[in-house]
A and B are shown apart, each in its own frame.
Chain A
Amino acid sequence: MKEKRKGPISRAAGLAEGVASTMRRMQREREPRVLVYDPAGYARLVQPEARGQERIMEIAEQMVARAGERES
């Protein structure tokens, strides 16, 4: 069980830990990757060395570039 923080410094440290872990999670989520979801919603990662992964990334990059062109 996690020990409860009591003082203001401990609470501030707890907040900082929370922010840091959120930032780490957001960073992880933005790493280049391909995820596929089955009808039940379970996600599976298409490994970088897997057949077709590189091509999927290329297509997505082209789509992002196209959307950017349209906006500009």
Chain B
Amino acid sequence: MSILTTMADTLTPGRAADSLCELSADVRAAVLLDAAGSLAGASGDGSEHARVLGDLARQLFEEVDRATRDWDTEPPEQVEVQVAGGAVFASRTPRWTLAAVAKRGALSSLMLYDLKAVLGELEGGPPIRRSGPPADEGTPGPAPEEFTAEELPMPELGE
């Protein structure tokens, strides 16, 4: 079986939270806020839960800004909060704030990277490349280089 990478469709604000959940299995819920702090998208169904999560995400960065106001550094771009039942990660750009609730034990570096990647795509950066099934299995054509990795000679494992 070959692995095919496909270019994702253009990411919209409404899809950003779901996109993050697809990227990371450790994400339990995610919300996207616009520059005004209003809910612009949420993972799963757009319910009351999403609205409350959005409010909490907005408050989170407000409190972080308050806590770090006197610091001699630039305003924080990302936040990680580890609590008893899990972790919250959030990342922001001037236009968007993306916050995620993750499972306990989620790798911080990966979570922060994924948040940044989704926001980058939303800001018009290059789309994230995802692996997926072949677009058209019925028309076998010449395989690009990345598909033929399995045909490369395996290195000898020895002493």
Give chain A's interface residues, CB within 8 Å of chain B: 26, 29-39, 43-44, 46, 50-53, 55-57, 59-71
The listed residue (A32, A33, A56, A61) touching B67 by CB distance below 8 A is A56
The listed residue (B60, B66, B80) touching A35 by CB distance below 8 A is B80
As a 0/1 sequence over residues 39 to 80 of chain B, the CB contacts with chain A under 8 angstroms (1 = contact) are 000001001010011001101100110111001011011111
- Cα–Cα distance between A69 and B77 once the two chains are bound (Å): 28
* A31 close to B60 (CB less than 8 A): no
- Cα–Cα distance between A53 and B83 once the two chains are bound (Å): 12
Rounded to whole Å, the gap between the CB of A36 and the closest CB of chain B is: 4
Interface of A is mostly: helix
Beyond A59-B56, A71-B28, whether A65 also contacts B81 by CB under 8 A is no
Chain B residue contacts of A36, Cβ below 8 A: 64, 68, 76, 78-80
Give chain B's interface residues, CB within 8 Å of chain A: 28-29, 44, 47, 49, 52-53, 56-57, 59-60, 63-64, 66-68, 71, 73-74, 76-88, 99, 101, 104-105, 108, 112
Task: Give the residue name and chain of the A residue nearest to B70 (CB).
Answer: A51
Total cross-chain contacts (CB, 8 A)? 117
* B29 close to A67 (CB less than 8 A): yes
Beyond A44-B71, A59-B60, whether A67 also contacts B81 by CB under 8 A is no
* A63 close to B56 (CB less than 8 A): yes
* A52 close to B67 (CB less than 8 A): yes
* B86 close to A39 (CB less than 8 A): no
Rounded to whole Å, the gap between the CB of B2 and the closest CB of chain A is: 34
